[in-house]
Amino acid sequence: MSPRVVIAEDLYLLRDGLVHLLQAHGFEVVAAVESGPELLSALTGERPDVAVVDVRLPPTFTDEGLQAALAARRAVPGLPVLVLSQHVEQLYARELLADGSGAVGYLLKDRVFNAEQFVDAVRRVAAGGTAMDPEVIAKLLVSTARHGPLGALTPREREVLELMAEGRSNAAISQRLFLSESAVGKHTASIFGKLGLAPSDDDNRRVLAVLTYLNAARSQP
């Protein structure tokens, strides 16, 4: 069955382009809307497998898209949401991550460089994972405290965890950091242990580790 997706984007050409791109990659677009109220109605009515949401939508072009996504996730816990925006809205991005249920992503429009990158992020979020742009992570964590659950991580383990937050596999992390896959595996096992994540499905523990990492910024100004 094709994954069902709702798209929220106020610019017609971009909205239509997203519709055709996702349809070409096997998604069923059940709604393509241009305003916050339309988005909330579509998300709660259609309950899609994933939503692709711009932050700033009519009527005020401030944060209607993200607010609608947050309201929909309160009504439908765990509803997968991928934010696609030109801006990093730190307060609401943190709130989107705060429930700890995963299935969230935040990409910046001008840093999506090809269709494969974007479609992979949509599929990852639909499957319950995360897809975070490095610039978003940097802004969320610029003042993260060194204490708490992340304080015990080594600098290398924090590098590995940051790349996990971007949605990279162990193989991709090994290439990025010039480490063997076995070394990356040891780092991830150590991260899971230090964050107190009990043995379970590794994909689930990756999501939980990433959420711990990102939620560390929630209380920062």
Which of 2-11, 160-169, 184-193 has the highest mean predicted lDDT (pLDDT)? 2-11
Encode pLDDT of 12-43 as tens digits: 999 999 999 999 999 999 999 999 999 999 99
Instruction: Write b or e for each residue in 112-143: b if 16 or more Cβ atoms lie within 10 A of its Cβ, otherwise e.
Output: eeeeeebbebbbbbbeebbbbbeebbebbbee
| Least confident residue range of 70-84, 91-105, 167-181 | 91-105
Q: Which pLDDT does position 3 carry in this prediction?
A: 96
Please return the burial class of 151, using the count of CB atoms within 10 Å of its CB with bins 0-12, 13-18 and 19+: exposed
Residue 70 neighbours by CB under 8 Å, 6+ apart: 92, 95, 96
Percent of the chain scored above 70 by pLDDT?
Answer: 85
Q: Distance between CA 32 and CA 167 in Å, rounded?
A: 26
Lowest mean pLDDT among 50-64, 86-100, 126-140: 86-100
3-state SS of the chain? Answer: CCCEEEEECCCHHHHHHHHHHHHHCCCEEEEEECCHHHHHHHHHHHCCCEEEECCCCCCCCCCHHHHHHHHHHHHCCCCCEEEEECCCCHHHHHHHHHCCCCCEEEEEHHHCCCHHHHHHHHHHHHCCCEEECHHHHHHHCCCCCCCHHHCCCCHHHHHHHHHHHCCCCHHHHHHHHCCCHHHHHHHHHHHHHHCCCCCCCHHHHHHHHHHHHHHCCCCCC
Q: What rounded mean pLDDT belongs to the chain?
A: 85
Q: Please report the pLDDT score of residue 191 as a whole number.
A: 87
Q: What is residue 76's predicted lDDT score, i.e. its pLDDT?
A: 92
Tracing tokens 């015990």 back to the chain, one arrives at 152
Please state the rounded mean pLDDT for residues 179-190.
Answer: 91
Distance CA(87)–CA(52), nearest Å, equals 15
**CB 183, CB 145: distance < 8 Å:** no
Please write the tens of the pLDDT for every residue from 134-181. Answer: 777 767 655 444 445 677 888 899 889 888 877 788 898 999 999 999
User: What is the residue type of 36?
Assistant: G
According to the model, what pLDDT value does residue 93 have? Answer: 72
Residue 102 has pLDDT above 80, yes or no: no
Beta-bridge partners for 28: 4
Structure tokens at 185: 């595996």
* Residue 102: CB atoms within 10 Å: 20
* Of the listed ranges 7-11, 34-38, 94-98, 118-122, the one predicted with least confidence: 94-98
Average pLDDT of span 91-115? 81
